[in-house]
Amino acid sequence: SQKIEQNSEALNIQEGKTATLTCNYTNYSPAYLQWYRQDPGRGPVFLLLIRENEKEKRKERLKVTFDTTLKQSLFHITASQPADSATYLCALDGGDKIIFGKGTRLHILP
């Protein structure tokens, strides 16, 4: 069955450093991979989408890579700030449905 895993439930990073989150998947061939941010009590907020034929995408301090051979995506936040603390979800979109990982809680320590 299709499976999507995010590397850890929680991650602590010192302010100013780069935070790297991992998303691995099996038994799926997504057309797109998406990353969302979710704050407590709120719905997820769309951050970035990367297509299967793209290797990397950037948006301000965010960078996403997508390796369809390794079946893995990496999500980087450079120059991290305490305001970046949140849960980050990856989602795979195969066109017929979208499945989400359980998320990684990122804590940026001042």
Partner 1 sequence: KAGVTQTPRYLIKTRGQQVTLSCSPISGHRSVSWYQQTPGQGLQFLFEYFSETQRNKGNFPGRFSGRQFSNSRSEMNVSTLELGDSALYLCASSSASNYGYTFGSGTRLTVV
Q: Which residues contact partner 1 (rule: CB under 8 A)?
A: 31-32, 34, 36, 41-46, 49, 51, 89, 93, 95-103
Nearer to partner 1, 83 or 96 (CB): 96
Q: Report the C-alpha gap between 63 and 66 in whole angstroms.
A: 10
Query: Which residue shows structure tokens 């995010």?
Result: 6
63-67-21-59 Cα dihedral, nearest 10 degrees: 10
Nearer to partner 1, 60 or 110 (CB): 60
The residue among 15 and 38 lying less far from partner 1, judged by its C-beta, is 38
Best CA proximity match to 19, nearest among 83, 92, 100, 69: 83
Least CB distance to partner 1 at residue 14 (A)? 27
Q: How far is the CB of 2 from partner 1 (least distance, A)?
A: 11
Q: How far apart are CA 85 and CA 67, in angstroms?
A: 26
CB of 41 to partner 1, least distance (A): 8
